[in-house]
């Protein structure tokens, strides 16, 4: 990646579209301090983001929904409750003890809030459908009270009905003031959901477009030769 510059405002959904290998996932990982060698300046609420580790970035209000929820977002053998609270255990810790009652109550609050279909929050998260597992990952991120939610391919691997629910959740969160930056390789998805569309190619932002932009324009900006064509 090279000289990537963008902004996300409160209550805004920004779609980051690009082809395989464009550098989109790596960019989100850099924001979450998963590539220590990366450089650059970032700001949250106008204040420099100086924290250099994942925990520090979470504390500053950034949360990531990873592309591979089973590998990076969930612990499949653990309970739904435990997965929901995994990033927020400090909220329920009293000295060296975990307040299990408070943890369970908070988990159920997010089960209801995100309409996660569960028989019991004590069941393993692997017992859920793909769409409901994705909601658990979203719930785990939201429990950290983020200001900016990064979502990498949020609808990958889930059925049409579950996609609609995830998209509705994204719109509800934006309406509540959360800034959302989501990565997708699905053209219809980026056109339908985004308040603004950014396109990445060869590790750079190759285009920025408002909602309602024609599909052909977005596709053209995603091709590696786009900037050369524009210069010609």
Distance CA 181, CA 16 (A): 7
Residue 142 within any structural domain of the chain = yes
- For the chain, give the mean pLDDT: 91
Contact criterion met (CB below 8 Å) for 165 and 171: no
Residue 218 within any structural domain of the chain = yes
Band the pLDDT of 225: cuts 50, 70, 90.
low
Band the pLDDT of 115: cuts 50, 70, 90.
very high
Q: Which of 6, 13, 7 is nearest to 171 (CA)?
A: 13
| The pLDDT of residue 38 | 85
| The pLDDT of residue 170 | 94
- In degrees, rounded to 5, the angle at the alpha carbon of residue 74 between the alpha carbons of residues 146 and 92 is 55
Residue 2 within any structural domain of the chain = no
How many Cα atoms are found within 13 Å in the side-chain-facing hemisphere of 9?
A: 5
Is residue 145 classed as helix, strand or coil in its secondary structure?
coil
Give 24-65 pLDDT, tens digit per residue: 999 999 999 999 888 889 999 999 999 999 999 999 999 999
What's the count of helices (H) and strands (E) in the chain, helices before strands?
9, 10
Using the CB atoms, write b or e for 6-31: b if 16+ within 10 Å. eebeeebbbbbbbeeebbbbbbbbbb
Residue 52 within any structural domain of the chain = yes
Q: Which residues neighbour 83 within 8 Å (Cβ) at sequence distance 6 or greater?
A: 74, 75, 125, 136, 137, 140
Residue 7 within any structural domain of the chain = no
Give 134-186 pLDDT, tens digit per residue: 999 999 999 999 999 999 999 988 888 889 999 999 999 999 999 999 999 99
Residue 214 within any structural domain of the chain = yes
Residue 95 within any structural domain of the chain = yes
Write out the residue range of the structural domain in which residue 227 sits. 13-231
Count of the separate structural domains present in the chain: 1
Band the pLDDT of 20: cuts 50, 70, 90.
confident
Is residue 135 classed as helix, strand or coil in its secondary structure?
helix
Residue 124 within any structural domain of the chain = yes
User: Can you tell me the mean pLDDT for 178-198?
Assistant: 96
Q: Does the pLDDT at position 223 exceed 50?
A: yes
Residue 156 sits in a domain of what CATH number? 3.40.50.300
């Amino acid at each position: 990646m090279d000289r990537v510059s963008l902004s996300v405002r409160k209550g805004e959904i920004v779609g980051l579209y690009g082809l395989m290998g464009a550098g989109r996932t790596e960019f989100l990982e850099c924001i979450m301090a998963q590539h220590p060698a990366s450089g650059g300046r970032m700001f949250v609420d106008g204040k420099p983001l100086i924290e250099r580790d994942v925990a520090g970035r979470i504390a500053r209000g950034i949360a990531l929904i990873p592309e591979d929820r089973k590998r990076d977002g969930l612990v499949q053998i653990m309970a739904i409750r435990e997965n929901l609270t995994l990033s927020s255990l400090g909220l329920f810790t009293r000295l060296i003890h975990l307040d299990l009652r408070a943890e369970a109550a908070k988990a159920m609050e997010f089960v209801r809030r995100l309409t996660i279909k569960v028989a019991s929050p004590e069941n393993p998260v692997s017992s859920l459908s793909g769409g409901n597992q994705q909601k658990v990952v979203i719930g785990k991120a939201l429990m950290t009270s983020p200001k900016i939610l990064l979502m990498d391919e949020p609808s990958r691997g889930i059925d049409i009905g579950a996609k609609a629910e995830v998209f509705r959740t994204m719109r509800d969160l934006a309406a509540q003031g959360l800034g959302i930056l989501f990565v997708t390789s699905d053209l219809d998805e980026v056109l339908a959901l985004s308040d603004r569309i950014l396109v990445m190619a060869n590790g750079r932002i190759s285009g920025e477009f408002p909602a309602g932009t024609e599909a052909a324009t977005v596709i053209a900006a995603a091709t590696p030769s786009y900037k050369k064509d524009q210069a010609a």
